[in-house]
Structure 1
């Protein structure tokens, strides 16, 4: 297959492109490098140094003999988007090219507007390009489990069969997102479903849980192939942050009670899920949803797992929660679709977290300790961040 990976310079986009290439697909990546600009804005770099995209592509060819084509541009630029689709003529488009952090979207009005404009308009441009150039293209879009919120009923895979006043229907599962970022993903989902229903497009929406891990078999072939390791309170995932804090000898910072429960997934499973979705496309006119997670854990459970795995003393601190979210809630998620396609999950209990400790120790001199503490407050729109200043 010919597969175009948008956001191919990013944390998940880059290892996904390598994995698809290794599986024998013809792969191209596209990026506008804005994620690297966020680093400059926030003053926090990836813990693991990352090479330029040109260097990465060259290193991949040297190591494997496989080529990855590059497109440099922005989905907000409709002319670029249309030209890229015409030039590469993909069978599938994997869409990671969005601002991906809830805290970033909640900094102030400017960041909220940017997040929603960038994400929603970029995806709309892509939908129109596919519809007008080749409606057979399968769009595989990264969504988020955060679209659902924490409803007091089981979370189904995108759709809900309901009965109301004696009548039955199948509707998109109700969404109650917790940030302007998550809201942008909800808007994307509705736009994609509309495009499939009205234009007959084919799309798979992957509502992904919190990703952990930094290495895949492909990224370990050469240091130049490494992907990001974000640990800060804006872009860092909770497990990565806890790993850094353990290595530094700092308390693990749990927001609130720590009973908030979320879906999680190993980065190796993420790239496998993308492969399965591409190789088993949705039908024309179908808006297909998979909940891309492998298990559920509370924040406190994740902290306990890190503390028990670390070869040293670890303490846990509960901080005031900067987010507006339920801390005590029901959470049961259906996530069978990808397993039925062949996913064999890695579970956190089976994962060598020690490898993350090793990565952190090797690069501990790059840590900005103040960036570990939360500086974005959901309750106070427009307030200046404290941790990055």
Structure 2
């Protein structure tokens, strides 16, 4: 199968490209290197050093004997997008190429507008390019569990059967995103569903939980193949931040009460989910949704897992929550589709013991302590105070 990975230089795009190549697929990656640019803008860097994309591709060829084609360009440029897809002629397009950080989208008007323009317009260009070049191409799009918010009912996989005044219909699951970034993903989902319904495209929307981990069997084969490890308050995840803080002997910084609950997934499971979705495509005209997560934890529970897994004393510090979100809420997610396709999940505790602490210990000299403190507030200076509950 020919698979084009958009955002193939990123945290998840790069190891996904390696995994698909290692499984025998012919892979190309595309990137505009915006993620590397955010590092310069924010004054931070990946905890683990990463090589330039071409050196990564050369290293993969050395260790595997397999080539990965590279396209450099921006999906916001519709002509580039059409040309790339027409030239590579993919069977499947895996779409990671979006600004992925909620805090980044909430910095100010400029960053919110950039996030929505980059994400929504880029995705629209991909849809139009597929329709023009080959409507049979299967789009595998990375969404987020954050599209749903925290509703007081079970979160189904993308669709909900509703009975109202004696009549029943199947509708897209209601969305209540928590940032301008998450809202851009909601727009993406609606645009993809529309393209499937009107043009007969085929697509799988993967609403992914928080990803943790930095190593896959492919990246471990050579240090030059390493992917990112983000820990800062803008692009890092809570789990990565806690791991770094434990290794450095600093308190784990929990926002608010720590009762906020999220779905999590190991990076090794993420790349396998992409393979499963690509090798088992949606039908023509089908907008298929999988909730791509394996476990649920509250922030406080994640802190306990980190503390229990680390061989040393660990304290916890509660900070005012910079986000506007419910502290106490119901959270029950249906996530059976990928398991039915064959996913065998890894467990969080095993990953921490086997990998995360070792990675953090080896690179702790690269940590910028100031970067871990929250600086972006969801409320602007002119926003009225409002109840988070």
**Band of TM-score, shorter chain:** over 0.9
Q: Is the partner of 1:363 in helix, strand or coil?
A: helix
Q: Which residue in 2 is equivalent to 1:293?
A: 293
Q: Supply the distance in 2 between the matched residues of 1:216 and 1:165 (Cα, whole angstroms).
A: 51
**1:74, distance to aligned residue in structure 2 (A):** 0.3
The answer (yes or no) to whether the contact 1:309–1:354 under 8 Å persists in 2 is no
The answer (yes or no) to whether the contact 2:145–2:291 under 8 Å persists in 1 is yes
Q: Supply the distance in 2 between the matched residues of 1:142 and 1:114 (Cα, whole angstroms).
A: 19
Q: Supply the distance in 1 between the matched residues of 2:352 and 2:124 (Cα, whole angstroms).
A: 40
Q: Is the partner of 1:247 in helix, strand or coil?
A: helix
Where do 1:1-389 residues align within 5 Å?
1-380=1-380
Q: Supply the distance in 2 between the matched residues of 1:382 and 1:40 (Cα, whole angstroms).
A: 29
Q: Is the partner of 2:98 in helix, strand or coil?
A: coil
The answer (yes or no) to whether the contact 2:306–2:352 under 8 Å persists in 1 is no
**1:382, distance to aligned residue in structure 2 (A):** 8.7
Q: Is the partner of 2:162 in helix, strand or coil?
A: strand
**1:370, distance to aligned residue in structure 2 (A):** 0.3
1:53-96 alpha-carbon deviations (Å, 9 max, x no partner): 00000000000001000000000011110000000000000000
Gaps spanning 5+ residues in structure 2: where?
A: 384-389
**1:353, distance to aligned residue in structure 2 (A):** 3.3
TM-score normalised by L of structure 1: 0.97
TM-score normalised by L of structure 2: 0.97
Q: Number of residue pairs matched?
A: 383
Q: Residues 356, 349 of structure 1: CA spacing in aligned structure 2 closer, same or farther, 3 A cutoff?
A: closer
**1:347, distance to aligned residue in structure 2 (A):** 1.4
RMSD in angstroms over aligned alpha carbons? 1.0
Q: Is the partner of 2:30 in helix, strand or coil?
A: strand
Q: Supply the distance in 1 between the matched residues of 2:117 and 2:92 (Cα, whole angstroms).
A: 24
1:223-278 alpha-carbon deviations (Å, 9 max, x no partner): 00000000000000111000000111110000000000000000000000000000
Q: Which residue in 2 is equivalent to 1:386?
A: none
Q: Supply the distance in 2 between the matched residues of 1:321 and 1:215 (Cα, whole angstroms).
A: 30
Q: Supply the distance in 2 between the matched residues of 1:238 and 1:19 (Cα, whole angstroms).
A: 25
Q: Supply the distance in 2 between the matched residues of 1:354 and 1:81 (Cα, whole angstroms).
A: 40
Q: Supply the distance in 1 between the matched residues of 2:351 and 2:283 (Cα, whole angstroms).
A: 35
**1:365, distance to aligned residue in structure 2 (A):** 1.1
Q: Is the partner of 1:351 in helix, strand or coil?
A: helix
Q: Supply the distance in 2 between the matched residues of 1:247 and 1:7 (Cα, whole angstroms).
A: 31
The answer (yes or no) to whether the contact 1:120–1:187 under 8 Å persists in 2 is yes
**1:379, distance to aligned residue in structure 2 (A):** 1.1
Q: Supply the distance in 1 between the matched residues of 2:186 and 2:293 (Cα, whole angstroms).
A: 18
**1:354, distance to aligned residue in structure 2 (A):** 4.7
The answer (yes or no) to whether the contact 1:107–1:382 under 8 Å persists in 2 is no
Gaps spanning 5+ residues in structure 1: where?
A: 384-389
**1:355, distance to aligned residue in structure 2 (A):** 1.9
**1:381, distance to aligned residue in structure 2 (A):** 5.6
Q: Supply the distance in 1 between the matched residues of 2:273 and 2:237 (Cα, whole angstroms).
A: 19
Q: Is the partner of 1:4 in helix, strand or coil?
A: strand
The answer (yes or no) to whether the contact 2:209–2:263 under 8 Å persists in 1 is yes
Q: Supply the distance in 2 between the matched residues of 1:329 and 1:145 (Cα, whole angstroms).
A: 15
Q: Supply the distance in 2 between the matched residues of 1:353 and 1:381 (Cα, whole angstroms).
A: 42
